[in-house]
Chains A and B, each alone.
Chain A
């Protein structure tokens, strides 16, 4: 592991274990829900992720933060099989996820949402969520052709489950028949979360899920995340909203230039000078602003 290599005596103490070298520190209580083993991603000369290793404990909410371009989305892409790592691998509950296989990651129990919403625009909200049930449906086209009662029952149950998930993420029932592309941005995000939940994931990756939501809506989503955790889902949250991050994540990893800068409880991570500098800009800039404000106050100008 590169970057910060704070050793952890008790693995999973805060929902995360940190390691160095090729692999993370072994967890004491069974396999980690998610583990990255020396993951490196290079795009030509650009190193997007540089030997990243960490573990996420089962039934925890784990935050990933970092400035724009730090490699957060690339990290989620590697975990979900969208990007093939140049080196290293990912395990989910101890099972190695086939590198670069999106379906392989899905079959391992990984589901995700996207930074830029990727719903199926021509399908209705309900159909988008039912599409998430694909893996769990047992009756295919042949049974549909034969008008099998089992297929019809299963289809009905899928749609009922979709309605239930809609209510769970805060989507009104009246939106069920609306085409996904006509929803507001916030509702599209909720629909995407519902679709991911329809896959019954073991590890749920949420890429900036509260973007486009107000504070109350963001907190409602955060409460849902906690409920999902209590039901046994492990959640990895990429989020710029520090309030959400500190309120709902038990632990977090800070990434900068593809390297692990810090890891641990979010509040502790955010207190670190190197994290603040990476996230909020150079210290010299902040000092320059403060100095400017002091000068303006001295001259009698209103501050701000």
Chain B
């Protein structure tokens, strides 16, 4: 039995969780806490499953559909909640998670109701890895683009960013569309791995799990968010054999340790550079003090 046979599905779930965490990171990058990825993934997931069931299209078509529907759904969330700020926006997205679940339960004809609906076509491992590679490519390219710098600027000080001409609302909509596209693809992959979609697939639980992954890895750096999402999904599976009854507790303790001692998460961009800058600044201060006190340095 190969390693992939043993852990393949776990790794696939881990990558999908990483994509969900990346989706949550896109809005956090600009300082907006949003749980909209879960309901957006639900809309994209159900739409893609309907496409597969009714047209017999290949899974690749479902992935593309998921991305497009997700982007549009993200944009719709933005238009709906654009006037809300800060924690009110976050609460609005929590309400959307609940609303979409209620709709999924009650729209039997479209979603299969509480019983859910099976996914007719299975995905292949390369679908998951291709989505991961694409996500990594996108973020490598846009991190230092106009969009990326604007996101960083808005997170640090939205008023000053606006004073430099950054359109805050338009940027918010763009972020939500990008987050929606990623969540949409992740939702289709999630449905494909599970081979089944129900109202509980994209629930509050998923929304908070992806957020926990972002906190674990590092909210403000895309690679950190992805790593956190992956670890938070894979670790319980690996620990299952060691702590069959205490997996959730271990996850909670891990998260608590990270929040207390590594508030920037496991991966922080430029950590080495920041340390070097601090040491440089301290050395500069010592030299100034030395000059002021007349201390002679060899």
Contact = CB atoms under 8 A, between A and B. Distances in A.
B49 to A, nearest CB: 28
Interface in B68-100: none
Interface in A112-137: 112, 114, 118, 120-123, 127, 130-132, 134-135, 137
A145 B138 contact: yes
Among B138, B156, B270, B284, residue most surrounded by chain A Cβ atoms (within 10 Å): B156
B269 to A, nearest CB: 9
Interface in A131-170: 131-132, 134-135, 137, 139-141, 144-145, 147, 151, 155
A134 B166 CA distance: 7
Contacts of B145: 140-141, 144, 151, 155
Contacts of B273: 177, 179
Contact of B163 (A103, A151, A178): A103
Interface in B92-134: none
B162 interface: yes
B168 interface: yes
A179 B270 contact: yes
A195 B156 CA distance: 15
Interface in B138-182: 138, 141-142, 144-150, 152-153, 156-157, 159-168, 174
A121 B274 CA distance: 11
Contacts of A147: 141
Contacts of A121: 156
Q: How large is the interface on B (under 10, 10 to 19, 20 to 34, 35 or more residues)?
A: 20 to 34
A141 B165 contact: no
Given A103-B165, A107-B165, A178-B277, A120 B160 contact: yes
Contact of B164 (A82, A140, A145, A199): A199
Contacts, number: 98
A182 interface: yes
B149 A103 contact: no
Interface string B273-297: 1100110110010000000000000
Nearest to A123: B152
A131 B147 contact: no
A179 B277 contact: yes
A263 interface: no
Contacts of A80: 163
19 contacts: A80-B163, A103-B163, A106-B162, A106-B164, A114-B160, A122-B220, A127-B152, A131-B153, A134-B165, A137-B146, A140-B146, A141-B142, A144-B141, A151-B145, A178-B280, A182-B274, A182-B277, A182-B281, A184-B284
Interface of B: 138, 141-142, 144-150, 152-153, 156-157, 159-168, 174, 220, 270, 273-274, 277-278, 280-281, 284
